[in-house]
Structure 1
Amino acid sequence: RLLFLWWLSVLGNISVERLRMYVKVELKRFRVVKEVGRIVMNVRIFACCQLIEVCQ
C-alpha cells in the first residue's frame, strides 16, 4: 500500500484511466506470483513426501 502511494506521488499528474490500467496490471502480476508460489510450494511438499518414502 505504501508503495502504491509512493507511485502515486511519483507519477503525479497521470490520468485516472492510466492509473486504473496500471493497478489492474499490478493485481494480475500479484495473482500470477501468488499462484506460482503456491505451485512451487506444492511441488516441494510432494518432493519431501517422496524423499521420506524412499528413505523409509
Structure 2
Amino acid sequence: MFVPATRIKSSPDVKNDGKARFDTGKPTLTQQGIDVDKLIRDNHEFIENVRKGTR
C-alpha cells in the first residue's frame, strides 16, 4: 500500500474561524478604517432587499 509522506493540494488558507480566505491583495473594510457594524446598521434595509432578490 502506498502512503505518501506529504500531500500537496491547492486550497485556500483556512483560519481558525473556519472561513476560507483568499488573499486578494486589497485591504479589508476594517483595515480601511470603516466600521463594519455601523455600515450594516445604516444599510440594513438595503442589504435585506438585495439578499431577498437573490433567492
Is the structural similarity TM-score above 0.5?
no
User: Relative CO higher for 1 or 2, CA cutoff 8 Å, sep ≥ 6?
Assistant: 2
**Structure ranking higher in strand proportion:** 2
For the pair shown, the structure with the greater C-alpha radius of gyration is 1
- TM-score between the two structures when normalised by the length of structure 2: 0.26
